[in-house]
Chains A and B, each alone.
Chain A
């Protein structure tokens, strides 16, 4: 039962009587027990014990549960910045609200500056390379960089770390406390019950870090040329550690990499600084009349959504930094519902502002501002505030309207960036040519700067508002933020990068994903070696795949927005993200999270073969002639016979009549009555429904294809196919990842079409993070690596070759590199075969400015051509 088609034709041979059972699905079974290496369905198992059980705080749908709770911490802080001593003296009152169902006997407070204290775990556990020096296991060749030496000296000269002066309750009585490295435990005189508040005070001071020497995300930057400073303070005040439903107190020590877990609350901060300083801080300035001139206030009022204004002009800032005031001023800031507070202060600051308008009832206007020294010009006044506004525009589309009244970008250091609510510290400055004094900046500096501002401002969304635990899971903010950052960069300008097209992150990440020393994304950050790809680019790449390939934009954008809005001002964990994305979209994603986040496989799909069939009519009158033609195609006459024929030799049997018989006239492909009878009985044996299906299939005349795929890399992926037909047309077809659900290694897909297929490609658009495109087409296409493409670019190679020769002759020292640096090549142009590879052409044009050759390059080319002509 069940054989519908009893005979099928395959390209080069005929199986007349063969029966073939066409199975329309895969009947592969798991080849090993569950959990074993041979378990073929392991990759599709639903995530079970890998995720914590849903509960009343965090539901199975990924949303906060009915009993979700989080603590609250409000701060009132007074501080003074002593410029001469590089010291901050401060006092704070913390109002801590216990919304948990638990009774707390003690509170934990974070003292992040203690990371730099003598004897801290962070410092004591540093390896030599982390401390900035080289180590040589053999013993000789150990060396100490100037940088490391400076760091050692800075740490020796100054006592870093929070110096706690007093810890008291609201009445002023001392509270008992103990400091464990970067965490302080305050023992409460009476247990703090659920739904109650407690108030306590801390007085402290600390030496401001020489950030360039020591590191630390906050401190001061010293400009030695004119002895001026920028102060930028972060992690500067003792603040509550997070108390959570999933780990109790989050007080894993601050070692420098795993960042911060914090509570939301309101802040009132009064900052006393030298009176000629300009201060940028989290929150809204409460006393502009006291600290700003009327001219500055007026200018601020003139900022609009289309007009960026200077509140302090570059010239004014330059004047300002020439002297030092003696007096002080106090800047009062208020911030609502934030998880942290940072500020920057300097007499060097240029200050500009622009408005961002959004369709929000609660926050229709946001003031975007930038603060930067003259050393950052001209790129900062041109790009920074615009980048801030752009970030809010794009991010808000994917998440929610920016809920805070201001967003600021401050230039506090040379490279990198760091994020705080409403304020970000960002790097990158142009450079000054030593000889000419000209200020220049390369395109890469510009894009690095815009990119870092987008990234840091983007962090306001993740984790400042969608408040994930950075100490535990770096990727939840860095990965998600990097992903939206790419989207914002794609929308900045088409020429965002030098090439004229954005590099596809999915082409870059496979390099990391193939390396054999990876750890899964779901690994605590202090232990991760290849930190950048692990926490930033791999999760970001996975989300691009999720959005563009697995779910599609409509489903993804809706689910992502659902996640962001339901966890706005709350603290999500990874399972909340995983569950929400599934719950809101209806797409099963367990295989996806399992593969990308819990595993270390990579994507590499191979299309191994395509076999073509057609339904055979089994009618000898129709089939036999074709069979004969096929036979002779596969068995060409021998060369002897052919030449005999060409010479005109006639065989004996053809010359003498009496030798001819039945067999002479007929070959095995001649139709006999026996053949005809066989055909008829075959038809008679079919059931009516079988006959109907058969005749319909014959009439349709479709082509049947069995396509074999192999999952070489291990990471399950959907298969975006491009089917090419013989008539020149092409068709795109997306095979969902579920095709791998019974066998994660090999699958065969059945495709039936009216038109004949000539070839099939997998992932033409490079949308799956496939690591190797040489096995993505059948018949195989030559897929070139970047190196091979470069190699094929004759003129570029020769220009480089000439340049290397030139450099060598100028600078005899480069010898030691023996002989010729590179082989010169005769220029070739691509053949037809290579021209088929669209990639080759596009990439050739995209890389390295193919604008007009410089005069130098033209002359090199001219010389080369001349040489070629001369040697002919």
Chain B
């Protein structure tokens, strides 16, 4: 079993002066857990799967700046929010129970009071019996990132939790 080093050059090259402590490990008194919540809702009326990612604004700003997607840790400008939308789309994959990819289109992104929201939707013919989800949002920067996905297909909410290194998870409606 080979051990590959993850090439995160930007982490070591501390280009941002003053930010001496970069990736803080889990054991710091992180008085706020790094957590993102994604809600996937089946809209019966419009036959659309609605996906909303809710991230902590500060975490999103920090992560995308370190990745080089943002010039400054500020998601107020439209361009920055577009980058955020592209990023989350890249790190969130959905397939149906037959492993057919479900393509989502980005509706947009907005920020409100300490949270950043990204909206996507996927038009599919009928309500899926379940989803296979891969969620690595922000986990390429924060090793302690916990991603929670709630799916709401009209019955009880089902939840999957993604820690770093987790593979795809199945959720039945």
**9-residue interface stretch from A99-107, A441-449, A628-636, A698-706:** A441-449
Q: Please give, as numbers and ranges, the residues of chain B lying within 8 Å of A499 by CB-CB distance.
A: 112-113
Q: Are A146 and B5 in contact, with the CB atoms below 8 A?
A: yes
CA distance A574 to B58 in the complex (A): 33
Q: Can you list 22 residue pairs at the A/B interface with Cβ under 8 Å?
A: A131-B25, A132-B23, A132-B25, A134-B164, A143-B3, A148-B143, A215-B24, A221-B21, A415-B30, A498-B111, A498-B113, A499-B113, A503-B115, A514-B150, A516-B157, A532-B32, A533-B35, A787-B107, A790-B110, A790-B119, A800-B85, A848-B111
Partner of B28, one of A135, A141, A215, A511: A215
Q: Please give, as numbers and ranges, the residues of chain A lying within 8 Å of B107 by CB-CB distance.
A: 787, 790-791, 797, 800, 822
Q: Please give, as numbers and ranges, the residues of chain A lying within 8 Å of B17 by CB-CB distance.
A: 225, 375, 432
Nearest first, the 7 A-B pairs at minimum CB distance are: A532-B33, A215-B27, A503-B113, A497-B113, A212-B21, A515-B159, A375-B18
Known: A256-B26, A501-B113, A790-B107. 6 other contacts (CB 8 A): A142-B1, A145-B143, A146-B12, A375-B18, A787-B52, A856-B78
Judged by a CB distance under 8 angstroms, whether A138 is at the interface is yes
Given that A129-B143, A214-B25, A797-B108 are contacting pairs, would A785 and B52 also be in contact in the complex, using a CB cutoff of 8 Å?
Answer: yes
Q: Are B114 and A444 in contact, with the CB atoms below 8 A?
A: yes
Q: Are B114 and A149 in contact, with the CB atoms below 8 A?
A: no
Contact pattern, A 375-408, Cβ under 8 Å of B = 1, otherwise 0: 1100000000000000000000000000000000
Judged by a CB distance under 8 angstroms, whether A862 is at the interface is no
Instruction: List which B10-63 residues lie within 8 A (CB) of chain A.
Output: 11-12, 14-33, 35, 37, 39, 41, 50-52, 54, 57-58, 61
CA distance A214 to B26 in the complex (A): 9
A423 to chain B, nearest CB (A): 14
Contact pattern, B 100-114, Cβ under 8 Å of A = 1, otherwise 0: 000101111111111
CA distance A817 to B17 in the complex (A): 34
CA distance A122 to B94 in the complex (A): 36
Q: Are B115 and A508 in contact, with the CB atoms below 8 A?
A: yes
Instruction: List which A794-815 residues lie within 8 A (CB) of chain B.
Output: 796-797, 799-801, 803-804, 807, 814
User: How many pairs of residues, A versus B, come closer than 8 Å at their CB atoms?
Assistant: 286
Instruction: List which A226-262 residues lie within 8 A (CB) of chain B.
Output: 256
Q: Are B77 and A854 in contact, with the CB atoms below 8 A?
A: yes
A701 to chain B, nearest CB (A): 40
Q: Please give, as numbers and ranges, the residues of chain B lying within 8 Å of A854 by CB-CB distance.
A: 77-78
B132 to chain A, nearest CB (A): 16
Judged by a CB distance under 8 angstroms, whether B167 is at the interface is yes
Q: By the criterion of a CB under 8 Å from any partner CB, how many residues of chain A are at the interface?
A: 107
Q: Are B5 and A149 in contact, with the CB atoms below 8 A?
A: yes
Q: Are B8 and A416 in contact, with the CB atoms below 8 A?
A: no
Q: Are B113 and A145 in contact, with the CB atoms below 8 A?
A: no
Judged by a CB distance under 8 angstroms, whether B95 is at the interface is no
Q: Please give, as numbers and ranges, the residues of chain A lying within 8 Å of B19 by CB-CB distance.
A: 414, 429, 431
Contact pattern, A 676-706, Cβ under 8 Å of B = 1, otherwise 0: 0000000000000000000000000000000
Judged by a CB distance under 8 angstroms, whether A653 is at the interface is no
Q: Please give, as numbers and ranges, the residues of chain B lying within 8 Å of A814 by CB-CB distance.
A: 86
CA distance A529 to B165 in the complex (A): 16
Q: Please give, as numbers and ranges, the residues of chain A lying within 8 Å of B152 by CB-CB distance.
A: 514
B residues within 8 Å of A by Cβ?
Answer: 1-6, 8, 11-12, 14-33, 35, 37, 39, 41, 50-52, 54, 57-58, 61, 65, 71-79, 81-83, 85-86, 89-90, 103, 105-115, 117, 119, 121, 143-144, 146, 148, 150, 152, 156-159, 161, 163-165, 167
CA distance A667 to B106 in the complex (A): 64
Judged by a CB distance under 8 angstroms, whether A222 is at the interface is yes
Q: Are B105 and A144 in contact, with the CB atoms below 8 A?
A: no
Given that A147-B25, A786-B117 are contacting pairs, would A514 and B105 also be in contact in the complex, using a CB cutoff of 8 Å?
Answer: no
Partner of A133, one of B32, B74, B83, B143: B143
Q: Please give, as numbers and ranges, the residues of chain B lying within 8 Å of A87 by CB-CB distance.
A: none
Partner of A129, one of B74, B78, B119, B163: B163
Partner of B3, one of A142, A434, A448: A142
Closest to A141 in B: B4
Instruction: List which A403-459 residues lie within 8 A (CB) of chain B.
Output: 413-418, 429-434, 440, 442-445, 447-448, 452, 455-456
CA distance A784 to B42 in the complex (A): 14
Chain B CB within 10 A, most for which of A145, A456, A517 = A145
Q: Please give, as numbers and ranges, the residues of chain A lying within 8 Å of B75 by CB-CB distance.
A: 442, 444
CA distance A532 to B148 in the complex (A): 12
Judged by a CB distance under 8 angstroms, whether A217 is at the interface is yes
Judged by a CB distance under 8 angstroms, whether A674 is at the interface is no
Chain A CB within 10 A, most for which of B26, B31, B103 = B31
Q: Please give, as numbers and ranges, the residues of chain A lying within 8 Å of B57 by CB-CB distance.
A: 444, 498
CA distance A137 to B58 in the complex (A): 31
Closest to A430 in B: B18
Contact pattern, A 776-789, Cβ under 8 Å of B = 1, otherwise 0: 00000000011110
Judged by a CB distance under 8 angstroms, whether A136 is at the interface is yes
Q: Please give, as numbers and ranges, the residues of chain A lying within 8 Å of B79 by CB-CB distance.
A: 803, 807, 856
A120 to chain B, nearest CB (A): 12
Judged by a CB distance under 8 angstroms, whether A846 is at the interface is yes
A865 to chain B, nearest CB (A): 17
A846 to chain B, nearest CB (A): 7
Partner of A416, one of B22, B30, B86: B30
CA distance A43 to B33 in the complex (A): 31
Q: Are A800 and B26 in contact, with the CB atoms below 8 A?
A: no
Contact pattern, A 491-512, Cβ under 8 Å of B = 1, otherwise 0: 0000011110111000010011
Q: Are B82 and A136 in contact, with the CB atoms below 8 A?
A: no
Q: Are B37 and A511 in contact, with the CB atoms below 8 A?
A: yes
CA distance A216 to B26 in the complex (A): 10
Partner of B14, one of A224, A536, A796: A224
Partner of B8, one of A142, A145, A151, A496: A145
Q: Are A787 and B25 in contact, with the CB atoms below 8 A?
A: no
CA distance A145 to B89 in the complex (A): 23
Judged by a CB distance under 8 angstroms, whether A867 is at the interface is no
Q: Please give, as numbers and ranges, the residues of chain B lying within 8 Å of A800 by CB-CB distance.
A: 78, 81-82, 85, 106-109
Closest to B143 in A: A132
Q: Please give, as numbers and ranges, the residues of chain A lying within 8 Å of B8 by CB-CB distance.
A: 145-146
CA distance A856 to B6 in the complex (A): 37
CA distance A807 to B69 in the complex (A): 11
